[in-house]
Amino acid sequence: MFGAGPITEQYAPCLSFRHWLQAVPDSAAGGPCAKPALVIYTVFQSYPSPVKPTLCSCLPRPLLALLGLVAALKLAGCQSPPPTLAQHPAPPLARYVAELRAARARQPQAARYHGQLGIFVDLTRPDTENRFFLLDLRTGRALVAAPCLNGRTDRQGRVRYSNEVNSNCSSRGLAWTSYAEAYPGRFGVAYRLHGLSAGTSNLAARTVVLHSWRHVPAAPVVAGRHPIQSWGCPALAPTRLAEVVQHLRRAGHHRVLVCLR
């Protein structure tokens, strides 16, 4: 473990554990969490055998050193570093906006679709990250960015896509919704999604809708803590759906285009 060498001699005049702990530099002890263990071990080594506590004489020295290390780390408040959010590339908002603009322009009745609002659901991003984006198509800004659920995945955790009824998979393609599409669903107010492409033509038959669920995180979560899967719905946290609804309400009777990827 640690030996009594130059550090012991240099900082031996310290009169208390607290003073010693403050006197020994982190770099000399091998880091802030190693410093208390060095001090405890050095103090233990400095005791003459006749005056060591009875417990010390009854325990094997490796075990005593281990107990001293645990106690020292607790005294110093050394804990495991908090989990950090995984770092992933920023979502390509400009590409999302370009795709939504182009899709709106291709619609036979483009005027029925709101010219400023669009929704892009990018399930190719990690499920711990923001994947639902309500976008301002004029400024390119994300009005709402939030994690959302996906349907079934394969053994590698990749999202499976299907348009089949009872598949419980996510769908890929274009759809639309609006404030007028609200209805009382199983998890509260939900908004129907109407398919506009071959990969989304069964959204209504599958009851794939935009709804909230209290177990969906409202913000990106720590890597490894994966949210639960849905039955194909891009479900949001209740607080985030409430933000989306405010914008849908302002859109009035206009449809809002939804791109599912």
225 pLDDT tier (thresholds 50, 70, 90): confident
- Residues of the chain above pLDDT 70, percent: 67
Mean pLDDT (the chain, rounded):
81
Query: Contacts from 218-221 at CB under 8 Å and sequence distance 24+?
Result: 218/146, 218/147, 219/130, 219/146, 219/147, 220/85, 220/128, 220/129, 220/130, 220/147, 221/85, 221/128, 221/147
Q: What are the φ and ψ backbone dihedral angles of 99, each rounded to 5 degrees?
A: -65, -40
Cα separation, 77 vs 75, whole angstroms: 5
Two tokens, residue 240: 């985030």
User: Could you identify the residue written with the tokens 């639960």?
Assistant: 228
Indicate if the pLDDT at residue 160 is higher than 60: yes
Indicate if the pLDDT at residue 11 is higher than 50: no
Number of H helices, E strands in the chain: 9, 9
Lowest mean per-residue pLDDT among 83-92, 145-154, 190-199: 83-92
> Could you tell me the CA-to-CA distances from 206 to 14, 28, 108, 197, 235 in Å, in that order?
74, 65, 25, 15, 15
Instruction: Give the pLDDT of residue 220.
Output: 95
Indicate if the pLDDT at residue 38 is higher than 90: no
Average pLDDT over residues 187-206: 97
- Residues of the chain above pLDDT 90, percent: 62
Contact 193, 256 (CB under 8 A): no
Instruction: Give the pLDDT of residue 55.
Output: 47
- pTM over 0.85? The answer is no
Q: How buried is 148 (Cβ within 10 angstroms: 0-12 exposed, 13-18 middle, 19+ buried)? A: buried
Instruction: Give the pLDDT of residue 103.
Output: 98
Instruction: Give the pLDDT of residue 59.
Output: 57
Instruction: Give the pLDDT of residue 17.
Output: 42
Closest CA to 231 of 173, 167, 174, 157: 167
Residue 194, H or E segment: strand 194-195
Contact 117, 135 (CB under 8 A): yes
Two tokens, residue 98: 């370009």
Instruction: Give the pLDDT of residue 62.
Output: 65
Closest CA to 15 of 54, 51, 43: 43
The DSSP 8-state label assigned to residue 51 in this structure reads G
Indicate if the pLDDT at residue 108 is higher than 70: yes
The DSSP 8-state label assigned to residue 239 in this structure reads H
Lowest mean per-residue pLDDT among 62-66, 172-176, 236-240: 62-66
Instruction: Give the pLDDT of residue 222.
Output: 84
